[in-house]
Amino acid sequence: MSLTREEKTSAFKHIISTVFDLGADSPLEKALTAAGLNTPFDLGSPNLTEADIKDIKYPNNAASGELRGKKMIPGHVGML
């Protein structure tokens, strides 16, 4: 099944907001987007290793100042 870019984005936002129960523009969403992981297919990729996930960092524009430039907290890593 092929999805449009809009459908992929919508599905990604559904995962973040409904499955992970996080608000729009959450630090996790921003970290994933900054890492180039912005579709469900990116999150489920067999090429995405546990080490890759642990290396994802919150971008400098993360909502929470104390998270800027730091690796993801264990709770967010565990969600993935």
Secondary structure of the chain as H, E, C letters: CCCCHHHHHHHHHHHHHHHCCCCCCCHHHHHHHHCCCCCHHHHCCCCCCHHHHHHCECCCCCCCHHHCCCECCHHHHHHC
Q: Is the C-alpha dihedral spanning 72, 78, 79, 80 positive or negative?
A: positive
pTM as predicted: 0.73
For residue 10, name the pLDDT band (cuts at 50, 70, 90): very high
Answer whether residue 67 shows pLDDT above 60: no
**How confident is the model at residue 66, as a pLDDT?**
54
pLDDT digits (tens, 9 = 90+) for 24-65: 788 888 888 888 888 989 988 888 888 888 888 887 655 555
pLDDT average, residue stretch 63-76? 64
